[in-house]
């Protein structure tokens, strides 16, 4: 559960009184998420989400995130919309934190990812990439190569507490990524954290995307790599090529991937695995005492990184045809 900041009834009532939302009926901390404090706020006007932004979400980035959500609403992408107070301002302050109320999105995220979820995700991701093509605000990715080195420097001394040899593994991987990271792929605004818990389904149909607080400008194919890692591995650590093929095939129906993007995918997957391994490692080693949060397992992403480093890499699975089309054959 992620609630780092408790909100008193008095503070909440005074805060909500700045909106045309009626009185507060209930407000409960949400039992999911790791980054910010989230509450399900029910007022006389219905359910909303109240978010207090914590450590990793920088105040100066919030206009980008809120602007992006407003842009997506205009483009018809089902996602939360920031709610403005009576003064027209959505970004406010509560308990010393930047705070926003956003609309509630109905649906559930998939607890057991099935191939059909991955198929719909691929299409939704591509539609998101097209929808943001004319969004004019920009935000560099703070969690790319430079940010990874910074995170590594902060965690290196204690990395082996999580897995023996992890410090050396990470150092070598960062060197390899420096040498192989692509430089010339199509860029745009990416979600950068489109994990299953950020994609809602109603029944079997994808109903919306949430949590745009890592969104930034980067390679569009890097977003695909993040999704491959987050959606296409099983609990036992095995890679599910069927899910990955469906994800890619449905993405490519909406936004074709160039040969260069397909060729870069294995390295983008290694980079994505390293990125989430590093943030999870840092969070694991720096759990705030008393915070109501379940940190995510860094070793899960170490396993994914090892998979991508191995010879049975993505290329063996589906980036093997001359023209870059997905192969149906599983390598033995
Ligand atoms: N707009 C929304 N509508 C419905 N539920 C939401 C919404 N935003 C967040 N949630 C709920 O809160 C949880 C945590 O939100 P998330 O944005 O992922 O948190 P964090 O960024 O802190 O990790 C989600 O898994 C979901 O259950
Ligand atoms: N998806 C990240 C952590 C960020 O959590 P979210 O709740 O904001 O999606 C991870 O799994 O490491």
Please write the tens of the pLDDT for every residue from 198-217.
Answer: 999 999 999 999 999 999 99
Residue 320 Cβ inside 6 Å of ligand 2? The answer reads no
* Contact between 103 and 46 (Cβ < 8 Å): no
pLDDT tops 70 at residue 326 = no
For atom 1 of ligand 1, the residue with the nearest CA is 104
Counting ligands in written order, the one closest to the CA of 192 is: 2
pLDDT tops 90 at residue 239 = yes
pLDDT tops 80 at residue 14 = yes
HSE, CB side, 13 Å, CA atoms: give it for residue 173. Answer: 29
* Contact between 208 and 145 (Cβ < 8 Å): no
Furthest-apart CA atoms within the chain: distance in Å = 64
Q: Helix (H, G, I), strand (E, B), or coil: what is residue 189? A: strand
CA 324 / ligand 2 centre spacing (Å): 31
Residue 34 Cβ inside 6 Å of ligand 2? The answer reads yes
pLDDT tops 60 at residue 331 = no
Pocket test for ligand 2, best of 29, 34, 213, 223 (most atoms within 8 A of CB): 34
Task: Count, in order, helices (H) and strands (E) of the chain.
Answer: 10, 9
pLDDT tops 50 at residue 1 = no
Nearest ligand 2 atom to the CA of 197 is 9
**What is the mean pLDDT of the segment spanning 143-157?**
97
Cross-strand partners of 24: 43
Distance (Å, rounded) from C-alpha 262 to C-alpha 100? 38
Distances (CA, A) of 293 to 30, 36, 286: 10, 10, 12
What domains are there in the chain, each with its CATH number?
Answer: 9-103 (3.30.200.20), 115-318 (3.90.1200.10)
Distance (Å, rounded) from C-alpha 163 to C-alpha 186? 36
Residue 49 Cβ inside 6 Å of ligand 1? The answer reads yes
35 — pLDDT class (breaks 50, 70, 90) = confident
Distance (Å, rounded) from C-alpha 274 to C-alpha 61? 23
For atom 18 of ligand 1, the residue with the nearest CA is 33
Predicted model pTM: 0.92
Mean pLDDT, rounded, of the chain: 92
Residue 54 Cβ inside 6 Å of ligand 2? The answer reads no
CA 207 / ligand 1 centre spacing (Å): 14
- Burial label for 37, CB within 10 Å (0-12, 13-18, 19+), is buried
CA 34 / ligand 2 centre spacing (Å): 6
Nearest ligand 1 atom to the CA of 30 is 12
Residue 105 Cβ inside 6 Å of ligand 1? The answer reads yes
Nearest ligand 1 atom to the CA of 80 is 1
Q: What is the pLDDT of residue 311?
A: 62
CA 212 / ligand 1 centre spacing (Å): 10
Q: Are strands 46-52 and 187-190 parallel, antiparallel or unpaired?
A: unpaired
């Amino acid at each position: 559960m992620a609630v780092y900041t408790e909100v008193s009834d008095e503070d909440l009532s005074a805060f909500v009184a700045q909106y045309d939302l009626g009185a507060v009926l209930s407000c409960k901390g949400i039992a999911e998420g790791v980054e910010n404090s989230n509450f399900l706020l029910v007022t006389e006007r219905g359910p909303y989400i109240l978010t207090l932004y914590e450590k990793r979400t920088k105040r100066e980035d919030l206009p980008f995130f809120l602007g992006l959500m407003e842009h997506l609403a205009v483009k018809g992408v089902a996602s939360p919309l920031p709610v403005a107070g009576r003064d027209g301002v959505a970004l406010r302050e509560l308990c010393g934190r930047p705070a926003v109320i956003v609309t509630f999105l109905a649906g559930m995220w998939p607890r057991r990812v099935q191939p059909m979820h991955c198929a719909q995700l691929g299409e939704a991701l591509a539609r998101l990439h097209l929808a943001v093509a004319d969004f004019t605000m920009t935000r560099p990715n703070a969690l790319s190569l430079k940010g990874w080195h910074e995170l590594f420097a902060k965690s290196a001394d204690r990395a082996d507490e999580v897995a023996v040899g992890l410090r050396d593994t990470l150092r070598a991987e960062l060197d390899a990524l420096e040498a192989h990271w692509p430089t010339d792929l199509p860029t745009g605004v990416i979600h950068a954290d489109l994990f299953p818990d950020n994609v809602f389904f109603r029944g079997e149909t994808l109903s919306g995307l949430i949590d745009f607080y890592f969104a930034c400008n980067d390679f569009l194919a890097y977003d695909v790599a993040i999704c491959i890692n987050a959606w296409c591995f099983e609990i036992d650590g095995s890679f599910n090529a069927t899910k990955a093929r469906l994800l890619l095939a449905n993405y490519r129906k909406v936004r074709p991937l160039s040969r260069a993007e397909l060729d870069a995918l294995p390295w983008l997957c290694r980079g994505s695995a390293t990125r989430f391994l590093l943030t999870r490692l840092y969070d694991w080693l720096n759990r705030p005492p008393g915070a109501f949060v379940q940190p995510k397992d860094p070793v899960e992403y170490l396993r994914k990184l090892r998979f991508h480093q191995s010879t049975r890499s993505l290329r063996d699975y589906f980036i093997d045809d001359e023209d870059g089309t997905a192969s149906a054959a599983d390598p033995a």
